[in-house]
Chains A and B, each alone.
Chain A
Amino acid sequence: MDLSVLERVKWLQQQQMVSPDFFEILGSDGREELKRVESYLGNNNDELQSFRHYETIDGCISRTSSFQIEQVKNNEENRVIALQHKRKTEGKTEKIENKKKKKIKTEDETESSMKGKSNMSNSETSSEIQKRDYIHVRARRGEATDRHSLAERARREKLSKKMKCLQDIVPGCNKVTGKAGMLDEIINYVQSLQQQVEFLSMKLSVLNPELEYHINELSTKQFQACFTDLPEAVSKQLMMVDASSFPLQHQESLDYSVINSIQTTTLGSKDQTSSGWEIHSQSLYNNLRTDSVSSFFSLE
């Protein structure tokens, strides 16, 4: 949508109907968009002219039509492949996959050959052949078509999908290829994370007794800095829900200095909450959002 509007503007500018001041209004983002459009369309004026008549719809049309073309193509491909295999395997009985309930079930009558390529990702395209809840695996040309190897192939693909998932999570996995290397990387990463937890817990155990000293060093500036970006009402309620679902037994352990110091600072538009825990939790929430933990932790 945006593209079409910008195209129109660009065209108008080229027709010298729009003053260059318009681009000031657009702002830098708009100008970048325009540059993108320009590079995409080329500086060909004729193309812009052709776009003129189909401004609002052309983007949509191009998108949808390409999708449909893809669909049709896939169907055709499937049919072609089916025909090929038909010619190849004339003697064998053909059973379409959607008649099978489960792919791996050992049924005696399903001694059929499976054809085509694996459709696990394109289950939407050829609707007359497939239903939604089946795994449709088709054997490629020249590959074994018995049930075991197909199942194995399905399993391997599932595994590779999960490995890809892991690859996104673990940093630095892109350079290594192959399952073994990636597994090595993953193992190293998990080990390093666990070591980090241990190290940080060591640090915490050292710092823990010093908590009491930090309370007096509270600065009001930190408080205000924390409370300026207040959570919205919704998140505040969520926080309340969270707090209430985990009943705390140590509400009375909140230091009185906490409550005093909170009351001395201006809380802005935040409601004055009565219970100390709510204040505590809200400050927790704020601090975690802004990653500045020092002040709230000294509240404890």
Chain B
Amino acid sequence: MASANKPINTDVPEKDVFALHFLQSLSNLRRQNTFNSPEKTNDRVKKIKKVAYVSMARAAGGTNRLWSRALLRRAAKENNKVVRFPRRKKRVTCLRRRRSNRRDPVEEEEAERLRNLVPGGGGMEISKLMEETAHYIKCLSMQVKVMQCLVDGLAPK
């Protein structure tokens, strides 16, 4: 809390990194035999979506961002895998909850909705939530751009 003049870091890597990860995982996916069957489109859709999110998380933050870690952990749990993250230095995250009634109820309600949307937002305070949301939005939009490019490229001429 001492240095408040540090600018908020919301750097996002270039489009290439995202595309690389996404294509990698897509090609891995395609090698699965069950994937290319013409039926069961819903399964395919779900798998592709999950692949998109996971590759985005890897490309964007790896384990440096809270939302990416939560995403990866969630995805790994679905596959019944255990993900081990390197133990980070324990930061002073237990801010003093002051007795003052600054917890604006309206604000909290909105923050609750945001927490449901952004992965990993459950345990965060509002200021941290804002940072994570900003980074998440940037990464999402980059991923959307990459996917849009792909789809445009693949569209039948």
List residues of chain A with CB within 8 A of the CB of B156.
Answer: 210
Contact B150 A246 (CB under 8 A): no
B: number of interface residues (CB 8 Å): 66
CA distance A17 to B36 in the complex (A): 77
Complex interface bits, B41-67 against A, C-beta within 8 A gives 1, otherwise 0: 100110011001100000000000000
Q: Which residues of A contact B94 (CB under 8 A)?
A: none
**Structural contact, B52 and A201, CB atoms closer than 8 A:** yes
Which of the residues A135, A190, A208 comes within 8 Å of B140, measured between beta carbons? A190
CB distance from A280 to the nearest CB of B (A): 9
SS class of chain B's interface: helix, strand, loop or mixed? helix
- Chain A residues bordering chain B, tally (CB within 8 A): 75
Interchain CA distance A134-B10 in the complex, whole Å: 23
A173 to chain B, nearest CB (A): 11
Q: B68 at interface (Cβ–Cβ under 8 A)?
A: no
How close is B63's CB to chain A, nearest CB, in angstroms?
Answer: 15
Interface residues of A in 36-50 (CB under 8 A from B): none
Closest chain A residue to B118, Cβ basis: A190
Q: Is A73 located at the chain interface by the 8 A CB criterion? A: no
Is B75's CB within 8 Å of the partner chain A?
no
Q: Does B34 contact A (CB under 8 A)?
A: no
19 contacts between A and B (CB under 8 A): A104-B1, A121-B5, A132-B3, A135-B3, A152-B102, A158-B127, A162-B131, A180-B106, A183-B107, A190-B136, A193-B137, A198-B45, A200-B148, A201-B52, A205-B44, A250-B31, A287-B153, A288-B19, A293-B152
Report B's interface with A, CB cutoff 8 A.
Answer: 1-5, 8, 10, 15-17, 19-21, 23-24, 26-28, 30-31, 36, 38, 41, 44-45, 48-49, 52-53, 96, 98, 100, 102, 106-107, 110-111, 113-114, 117-118, 126-127, 130-131, 133-134, 136-138, 140-141, 143-144, 146-157
